[in-house]
Structure 1
């Protein structure tokens, strides 16, 4: 069985809890669908944890922003967090982010962060036609921060949701597992207060982290699967 995580976003408290749960489930391998970086303050601890476990990771849009010193075109809040991370990330972790690929395949699961039209920044809307145009039968991506399973004719897709910033109204960290036949979605409660205290110590106001208590975006908006 493998564990599938995504959108950690510098939230080490959430990541630590999810990794602990995956260990308890007995997974043999963990894959990450991108965005280890962005939003919360413990980007080095998150990168270190994934690197130590040799987690197969693809590049997310926030990983790309940080690695390339680019700006997020949609969010001043995201850019404030990226600016902080740019000032604290270690050289080795920055090099690791720069070296991430945009696509990967593990156990015949085709993986990107966003979608196959834009691997970094597509908010994927699953459909039979979409996946019929792609080689392979099993697919997984993140980016939306919303857990979702889709089953079509000969095709299956999994979005494990977000470890570090769930946006579907459930504050628990999200992840998934694959046992060789079936994707299963999981949620686990973690110490949100620890992440909030780390953000406060880094100089951020509650606006940047109070959303974690409600499972929303920064600013309080709940997300859904695009187009559905």
Structure 2
């Protein structure tokens, strides 16, 4: 069975559409999402609806948790600015869906969380052999860092599929990964960012909040 993994969509429906179109052409049997469907960008309703319509199993990310529980991010004022706006536009049915998301998922020998196995929602995982020696399982997937990578130890393999909606590894293309039961493969696709910029501008946000998309920067500001 061939699987695909997406993560950190963050309301970027333009990127999500292109990623799903690419996956649809690969003969994938099932798509899984490692969280953060919402946060940052303007099309959170479209992203939530798409994942629900496709019945994509999804774990809860920290931005999903903020939206589902009414909390705010302790690290970033800009994240909270976006949350205030998104709470005004999100449909109640999508809030209920976010509230229903699990924090962890098992797929055979594979384990999925958003952050890490010490804190499934908000751990910024730095993969190492020593880290995974302490975690039960053989294959692992998480997101949260927005940095696409594969880490292999002698007996275990970890994959971060990267971010669909806000890459932070210097490559602005939308990211995802596939898994054939033994090996992960990393993928990138281009998409049209202008609709994202236009929608954010129309919502009252300036380039500070979306300029990093142009370069795959680690922060929101245009470099």
TM-score of the alignment, normalized to the shorter chain, above 0.5: yes
Q: Does 1:93 align with 2:108?
A: no
Q: Which residue of 1 aligns with 2:178?
A: 177
Q: CA deviation at 1:219?
A: 2.3
Q: 1:87-143 CA deviation, whole Å, 9 max, x = no partner?
A: 111111000000100000124210100000011111101111211111110000000
Q: Which residue of 2 aligns with 1:147?
A: 148
Q: Does 1:218 align with 2:203?
A: no
Aligned residues: 221
Q: Which residue of 2 aligns with 1:31?
A: 32
In structure 2, stretches of 5+ residues that fail to align are none
Q: Which residue of 2 aligns with 1:114?
A: 115
Q: Which residue of 2 aligns with 1:159?
A: 160
Q: CA deviation at 1:220?
A: 4.8
Q: Does 1:135 align with 2:136?
A: yes
Alpha-carbon separation, structure 2, partners of 1:32 and 1:26: 17
Q: Which residue of 1 aligns with 2:20?
A: 19
Q: Which runs of 4+ in 1 moved over 6 A?
A: none
Alpha-carbon separation, structure 2, partners of 1:141 and 1:220: 27
Q: 1:57-92 CA deviation, whole Å, 9 max, x = no partner?
A: 000000001111101011000001111111111111
Alpha-carbon separation, structure 2, partners of 1:211 and 1:15: 17
Q: 1:27-57 CA deviation, whole Å, 9 max, x = no partner?
A: 1110000000100010000000000000010
- C-alpha change, 1:175 and 1:39, in structure 2 (3 Å) is same
Q: 1:131-183 CA deviation, whole Å, 9 max, x = no partner?
A: 11111100000000000100001100000000000001110001000011110
Equivalence map 1:186-205=2 (5 Å) = 186-205=187-206
Q: Which segment is superposed worse, 104-113 or 184-193?
A: 104-113
In structure 1, stretches of 5+ residues that fail to align are 222-228
Alpha-carbon separation, structure 2, partners of 1:77 and 1:193: 20
Q: What's the secondary structure of 1:185's corresponding residue? A: strand
Q: Which residue of 1 aligns with 2:61?
A: 60
Note the aligned Cα RMSD (angstroms): 1.0
Q: Which segment is superposed worse, 159-168 or 120-129?
A: 120-129
Q: What's the secondary structure of 1:50's corresponding residue? A: helix
Q: Which TM-score applies when normalising by structure 2?
A: 0.97
Alpha-carbon separation, structure 2, partners of 1:147 and 1:107: 23
Alpha-carbon separation, structure 2, partners of 1:211 and 1:177: 26
Q: What's the secondary structure of 2:25's corresponding residue? A: helix
Q: What's the secondary structure of 2:24's corresponding residue? A: helix
Q: Which residue of 2 aligns with 1:226?
A: none
